[in-house]
């Protein structure tokens, strides 16, 4: 009877140990792939990320939004001219230099509006240069492989009792499902940022048309700050990945299987949370609300 019980126990251990090893072997593969792609994704300019979308957004901006920006520019500068004249003691103190000043501001505003696309892309070119230089300096190995970190995994699993083995199998299954959810979160942050860039740049001429006006200028200045926030958000993302790379390398010194699994998941959750926060952090740095 004891022999039969021992064989059944051994058989259950083999099933649970095999299931745990199977869960652990590919648990972090998708996360490793997505984290490894972050540097390449955020280091690209809008035209480099997807040429088709870039061309469509540029065409929309130049053919649909730019004429509207021209109307807004005409209204804003005409309003400023009226204010400049009426502010001078009911037309009793009007100097010629005021009109030269207004002509200069109008010419500068027209120059800004007609070159809006070049200005916007220049912001992202600068941000890309910073990100590429940073990624070559600080980003290390972000890959996680529990099965290689924990040595003699199968033998150590077979030494455990049925109860702890079943608990470990359930935990590995739960963490595996969680990793898929975290992979989706990373995808949303990285791709969502690029979609936001395309949306923001598509309407660029309208806020840029108000840049040099005294009262409406806050719109253009706030828009320019938001562009810098979006561009340098990529730098904050690179820093997050670099911190994550340092943390996961410490798992190599872990001997407890359960602790190693939950530590890996904790680091990945932390990475996803900080990735979501980079947008608001970048906006707070540039005061873009």
pLDDT tens profile 222-261: 888 888 888 888 888 888 877 777 777 666 555 666 777 7
pLDDT above 60: residue 45: yes
Q: What is the pLDDT of residue 198?
A: 92
- Whole-number pLDDT of residue 244: 77
Q: Where on the phi/psi map is residue 176: left (φ > 0), alpha (ψ -120 to 50), or beta?
A: alpha
Three-class DSSP labels, the chain: CHHHHHHHHHHHHHHHHHHHHHHHHCCCHHHHHHHHHHHHHHCCCHHHHCHHHHHHHHHHHHHHHHHHHHHHHHHHHHHHHHHHHHCCCCCCCCCHHHHHHHHHHHHHHHHHHHCHHHHHHHHHHHHHHHHHHHHHHHCCCCCCCHHHHCCCHHHHHHCCCHHHHHHHHHHHHHHHHHHHHHHHHHHHHHHHHHHHHHHHHHCCHHHHCCCCCCCCHHHHHHHHHHHHHHHHHHHHHHHHHHHHHHHHHHHHHCCCHHHHHHHHHHHHHHHHHHHHHHHHHHHHHCCCC
Average pLDDT over residues 35-59: 82
Of 42 and 124, more confident: 124
Residue 237 vs residue 41, higher pLDDT: 237
Q: Which residue has the higher pLDDT, 113 or 287?
A: 113
pTM, whole model, 2 decimals? 0.76
Which band of pLDDT confidence, cut at 50, 70 and 90, is reported for residue 94? low
- pLDDT 10s digits, 130-184: 888 877 666 555 556 555 555 566 666 676 777 777 777 777 777 777 777 777 8
Compute the average pLDDT of residues 75-85: 82
pLDDT score recorded for residue 126:
87
Residue 31's pLDDT is 66
Residues 6+ away with beta carbon under 8 Å from 236:
278, 281, 282
pLDDT in tens, 250-262: 665 556 667 777 7
Read off the pLDDT of residues 109-125 as tens digits, 9 standing for 90 and up: 889 888 888 888 888 88
pLDDT higher than 80, residue 267: no
The pLDDT, as a whole number, for residue 289 is 55
CB atoms within 10 A of CB 48: 11
Asked if residues 47 and 121 have their Cβ atoms less than 8 Å apart, the reply is yes
The pLDDT of residue 175 is 73
Judge whether 123 and 232 are in contact, CB under 8 Å: no
Provide mean pLDDT across the span 204-217: 84
| Mean pLDDT in residue range 13-20 | 72
* Overall average pLDDT of the 39-54 stretch: 82
Nearby residues of 93 by Cβ (< 8 Å), 6 or more positions away: none
């Amino acid at each position: 009877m004891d022999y039969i019980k021992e064989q059944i126990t051994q058989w259950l251990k083999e099933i649970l140990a095999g299931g745990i090893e199977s869960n652990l072997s590919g648990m972090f593969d998708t996360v490793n792939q997505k984290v490894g792609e972050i540097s390449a994704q955020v280091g690209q300019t809008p035209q480099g990320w997807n040429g088709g979308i870039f061309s469509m957004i540029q065409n929309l901006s130049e053919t649909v939004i730019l004429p509207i920006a021209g109307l807004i520019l005409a209204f804003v500068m005409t309003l400023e001219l009226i204010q400049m004249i009426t502010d001078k003691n009911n037309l009793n103190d009007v100097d010629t230099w005021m009109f030269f000043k207004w002509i200069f501001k109008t010419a500068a505003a027209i120059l800004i509006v007609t070159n809006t696309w070049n200005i916007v892309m220049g912001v992202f070119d600068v941000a890309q240069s910073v990100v590429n230089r940073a990624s070559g300096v600080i980003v290390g190995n972000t890959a996680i492989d529990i099965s290689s970190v924990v040595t003699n995994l199968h033998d150590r699993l077979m030494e455990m009792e049925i109860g702890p083995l079943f608990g470990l199998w359930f935990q590995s299954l739960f963490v595996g499902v969680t990793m898929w959810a975290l992979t989706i979160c990373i995808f949303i942050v990285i791709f969502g940022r690029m979609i936001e860039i395309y949306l923001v740049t598509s309407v660029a001429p309208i806020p840029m048309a108000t840049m040099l006006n005294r009262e409406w200028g806050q719109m253009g200045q706030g828009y320019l700050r938001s562009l810098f926030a979006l561009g340098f958000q990529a730098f904050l993302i690179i820093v997050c990945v670099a911190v994550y790379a340092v943390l996961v390398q410490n798992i190599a010194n872990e001997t407890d299987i359960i602790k190693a699994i939950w530590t890996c998941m904790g680091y990945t959750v932390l990475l996803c949370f900080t990735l979501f926060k980079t947008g608001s952090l970048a906006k707070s740095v540039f005061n873009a609300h």
